[in-house]
Amino acid sequence: MIKFVKISLIGILGLFLLMQTSNAVEEGAFARIGVGARPLGMGGAFVAVADDANSVYWNPAGLTSLKGMEFTSMYSQQLGIIDYNFLAFASPFENIGNFGISWIGLSADTIYSSGVGTYSENTIAISYGREVIPNLSVGVNLKFLSVSATKTSSGFGLDIGAQYRAMDKLEVGLMIVDPVSNIKWQESGTSESLKSLYILGMAYEVIDGLTLACDIENLDFDKLHLGAEYWYFYPQLACLGLRAGSDRGNLAVGATLKIENFGFDYAFMSHDIGNSHRISVGARF
């Protein structure tokens, strides 16, 4: 097992080097808008926190925290014209690891030189997470990507994640997004790679129920995510979650109401180009 961990670390180092030397272009498609009202209410600081079905997007290593089947969904309308949807299902499998499957869909009516049409993006991901040694979990996403506009393209992507419990209340996370990805434009036959990024995260439970979290993308402090989450447990049936955060300097707040096995999440996010609201509904079985 130790040999496996060493090989994994060497592989991750190689991916870091690949990301620094890649000629990949920055794509508007498949931008990390974020999913799940719970993570977004924390300003997107969720790489180290990830412990529910939202992990399929934020860090598949977090799937190892699941104790049973989970379903989650989200709907948002961006700028009043863009529909943004997310569905995910995840479940543990004894002695194998935890699996998840998810779909992200974005669509908008837009104006092209040839007239009015619909632009759409779709991502379908199969996720896997497993604890490899005590306190260290790793995970991967295999993604199918497609774009439909005046031209169409499709391709595949890969994400790699890890979570490590460094101390009793301190969690450290790493998410490497699209170190290897490719989309091919069907009309021209040309291929492009998506821009890669890595996200480092930390989460610390200050007191029972209160967690502070921080994520940073590519060690760029202009891309800093800060978040806080507090859970208040009512007797037996329900609990309330409250959140606040900063998403690259933009305010985010949110709340969750859980009643038995069902949860309802809400997040408000401020942006220079317009505020947005996110609503999620989920269940555990």
Provide Rg for the chain, Cα atoms. Answer: 19
DSSP secondary structure code for residue 234 in this structure: P
Do 253 and 267 contact (CB within 8 A), yes or no?
yes
Residue-level pLDDT at 25: 40
Residue-level pLDDT at 191: 87
- Across the chain, which has 285 residues, the per-10-residue mean pLDDT values are 38 37 44 90 97 97 96 86 92 92 90 72 96 96 91 92 95 96 85 91 96 96 96 83 96 95 94 84 94
Residue-level pLDDT at 31: 67
Residue-level pLDDT at 9: 37
Domain ranges of the chain: 2-220
Close Cβ partners of 275 (under 8 Å, ≥ 6 residues apart): 268, 269
Do 46 and 249 contact (CB within 8 A), yes or no?
no
CATH class assigned to 2-220: mainly beta
Total residues found in the chain within this entry: 285
